[in-house]
Amino acid sequence: MIEHAPRSASPIARFGGQPIAIAAVALVIVVLGVSAIALWRSYTGNVPETDRVVATRQLQARAAQASEQLVEKTKGLEATQQESIDQLQMVQDQLLTVRRLLAAQQADTKKLSEQVGTLTEAIDGLRQSFASAQASEPSAASGPSRRTAKAKPRANRTANRTRAKARS
């Protein structure tokens, strides 16, 4: 027959009967490890959590500062844009005024041009009537008697004076 070895002979079998003791020892090891880490961090002053908090606050402060700068720049751009719009409106108003003045001047120029044309036609008509009057005077002077011949030179002198005054 085969003999069996007693169960208590193996070391694993010995602990198998006491699971509470194994759990207690594991708990004590974990607590000692955590305590050792905490003591080490407090002794060296190197606490990553506070460094992270400080870094986060710095990032938030930088973000807030950048945001304020963006707001200020945006307000500056809005002011500049409004000034540009106002200047453009002033230029448009001036352009409209210049256009109106130009249209009025063109109308006046057209009116004056028409008046000059009318005056030119009137002067041409007067020249033609004067030329026809001069042409008819010599033919009338050669035909009449002595009396009319003496009277006519006086009339010619008077007409010549009148013409000279009209020219000047």
* Threshold 0.75, pTM exceeds: no
Which has the higher per-residue pLDDT, 114 or 144?
114
Question: What number is the average pLDDT over the span 146-160?
Answer: 55
The predicted pLDDT at position 149 comes to 47
C-alpha closest to that of 156 among 139, 137, 132: 137
The predicted pLDDT at position 46 comes to 66
The predicted pLDDT at position 15 comes to 56
Q: Identify the weakest region by mean pLDDT among 9-13, 107-111, 148-152, 159-163.
A: 148-152
The torsion of the CA quartet 5, 9, 11, 13, rounded to 10 degrees, works out to: 60
Residue-averaged pLDDT of the chain: 81
The predicted pLDDT at position 38 comes to 85
**Residue 24, amino acid:** A
pLDDT surpasses 70 at 63: yes
What DSSP string describes 103-168? Answer: HHHHHHHHHHHHHHHHHHHHHHHHHHHHHHHHHHHHHHHHSS-HHHHHHHHHHHHHHHHHHHHHH-
Distances (CA, A) of 45 to 34, 37, 51: 16, 12, 11
Q: Is 115:107 a contact under the CB 8 Å cutoff?
A: no
pLDDT digits (tens, 9 = 90+) for 94-114: 999 999 999 999 999 999 999
Question: What number is the average pLDDT over the span 153-166?
Answer: 61
The predicted pLDDT at position 9 comes to 53
pLDDT digits (tens, 9 = 90+) for 16-60: 668 888 899 999 999 999 999 888 877 777 666 677 888 899 999
Q: What is the DSSP letter of 5?
A: P
The predicted pLDDT at position 72 comes to 96
